[in-house]
Chains A and B, each alone.
Chain A
Amino acid sequence: MTLVPGNVFGFWMFVVISVIVVYMIRASQNDKIQVSIRTIPGLEAIEECVGRATEMGRPIHFSPGLGDVVSDSVPDTLAALQILSYVTDIAARYDSQLLVTIRMPNVYPLAVETVRQAYTAANKGDAYKDNTVRYISSDQDAYAAGVIGLMHQEQVASSILAGLYMGEALLLAESAARLGIMQVAITASVMQVPFFVAACDYTVIGEELYAAGAYLSNDKGRLGAIAAQDYIKLIVIAITILGTIVTSFGSTFIQELVTK
């Protein structure tokens, strides 16, 4: 078994950074390193969102996005579920009603489990009701239409949109804005960010989505993974700068090395 040409560097980089990630997660869990994360204002606003809903006595809506757990959107969806766990926790503390809408059937059982566990952890097990988490439709347009209808019916006060989004981002955000709903959007879907920036009160952008779970839960293992992510970025930055300098001197050594 040998490596296909063009993947030698990639493979070894994969191995090295995997080791970094696992090491950082373990080190952080065993308190060998202390990881502190910079503030992400949009995530701080989640509590304000829930507070507003409580004051108004109306429900708060959460969507874990349009992604699935069986495609390349796994990371986005899992990150959104981590945020859901935090939102449920706050909602339980403030005694405000939570409403979760689901697009992908595979995500449904996971969301139910997440919400139930968070309520139990906050000693509010009985606050969980059968219709807290609702499956709408697996078609993205039909999902958007369903959520908009629900926002009208239930007089939602604030809405948190996390995870992967596609073209319906604007359908959701703009209809909610027209109803005067306070919104926080957390997404790595670059194409949808402009609409969220326009229509939502707070927008959390790009990679911040993957950091949100660690940020909100303060879970040491997850924080370690974020620190590892930063090291990988620093490595990429270093390679890019080095490559630019070497290229400027007329050599393509770095390009050839990394694509070897």
Chain B
Amino acid sequence: MNLIDKLQNVDTRIIYIVLLITLSIPLLHPIGIPMQINPMTRAVYDIVEGLDPEKDIVLLSMDYMPGAGLDAEVCPIAVVEHLMERGIKWVAISFGTTDGPMMTNRIITDLERRGYKYGEDFANLGYMAGGENAIRLFALDCLSVPTDVRGNRTSDLPVMQGIRTIKDFAFVMQFSASTPEAWIRQVVDPMGIAFATGTVTVCVPSLVPYYNSGQLKGVMGGVSSAAQYEILCNKPGRGASMMDAQSMGHLIIIFFIVLGNIGYFLSKRTKENLAAK
């Protein structure tokens, strides 16, 4: 096997090992490459900054599953952190996946450990089956969820006082591992609420039209957005610590593309030469 063939046929396992090593090094020894803030992320930050802690309550729709990993989890953590710091109350509910309530509980457990009060500062209303239909039902009547995950009556929760329909929330944000079309169709367009979304990096390009048309007031996508948000809040967390490794990962993927193409063109030329002879 000559060099050209070798370049064309590197064992995929070698590629995987190279990737693992390249990612691990900057994770263990961060370099601290500066980053720019995306306007769609800043829009979310500005909305939260503009809320009034005295009266405004925020609704978070937690629709991601653990499978999407930190890429989905860092955005809600960053936003909730900001909400708590500003003293804004929030309520979480899940429509998209049965895993949603568990993901909310992870955040809540941490907050309770730090002394925040369940029921007064936040609440977890659990999972509601029925997809788009459930979203609409909840939007029209928020008390249609009889109890929260801890068995309290929803109408008795201090944080839910004064909430009847979704319009009573000052700001609604969905966190998912996909796109928020269901929310746009069922709630945003017909009821005209302030709505933003936090999703995984993959979904960002398909959300630009909705941001551009004003149906989404802000968009966060994955680790890089969360890192930017953490920087805006002056609280670098897990998102920020991954950005250097993220950079290296991009470079190594580009390197793989180039490597594959070099092999491809060299072998094409050899074949053409052989054919010419």
Do A and B have CB atoms closer than 8 angstroms in the complex? yes
B12 within 8 A of A: yes
Interface residues on B, range: 10 to 19
> Which residues on the B side are within 8 Å of A2 (C-beta)?
none
B202 near A190: Cβ-Cβ < 8 Å: no
Q: Is B36 an interface residue (CB 8 A)?
A: no
Assembled-state Cα–Cα distance A191/B208 (Å)? 13
Query: How many chain A residues touch B (Cβ–Cβ < 8 Å)?
Result: 10
What are the interface flags for B197-226 relative to A under an 8 Å C-beta threshold, 1 for contact and 0 otherwise?
A: 000001101100000000000000000000
For the complex, is A166 an interface residue (Cβ under 8 Å from B)? Answer: yes
| Segment 149-206 of B: residues with Cβ below 8 Å from A | 177-178, 181-182, 190, 202-203, 205-206
CB pair A178–B206 under 8 Å, yes or no, is no
B132 touches A72 (CB 8 A): yes
In the complex, what residues of A have CB within 8 A of residue B178's CB?
166
The answer to whether A167 touches B202 (Cβ under 8 A) is yes
Is the CB–CB distance between A191 and B131 below 8 Å? no
Tell me the nearest residue of chain B to A4, going by C-beta.
Answer: B190
- Please give the distance in Å from B88's CB to the nearest CB on chain A: 30
User: A39 at the A/B interface (Cβ < 8 Å)?
Assistant: no
Q: Is the CB of B132 within 8 A of A190?
A: no
Answer yes or no: B50 CB below 8 A from chain A CBs: no
Q: Is the interface of B mostly helix, strand, loop or mixed?
A: helix
Partner of B12, one of A6, A166, A178, A191: A178
Query: Does B67 make an interface contact (CB < 8 A)?
Result: yes
A193 to chain B, nearest CB (A): 11
In the complex, the answer to whether B132 meets A191 with C-beta atoms within 8 Å is: no
Please judge, given known A-B contacts A71-B131, A72-B132, A166-B178, whether A191 and B67 are in contact too, CB under 8 Å: no
Which B131-161 residues have a C-beta within 8 angstroms of A? 131-132
> Chain B's nearest CB lies how many Å from the CB of A17?
18
Give the nearest-CB partner of B67 in chain A: A141
Query: In the docked arrangement, what's the CA distance between A234 and B205, Å?
Result: 26
Neighbour of A191 across the interface among B182, B190, B202, CB < 8 A: B202
7 pairs of residues in contact across A and B, judged by CB atoms under 8 Å: A4-B190, A71-B131, A72-B181, A178-B12, A190-B206, A191-B202, A191-B205
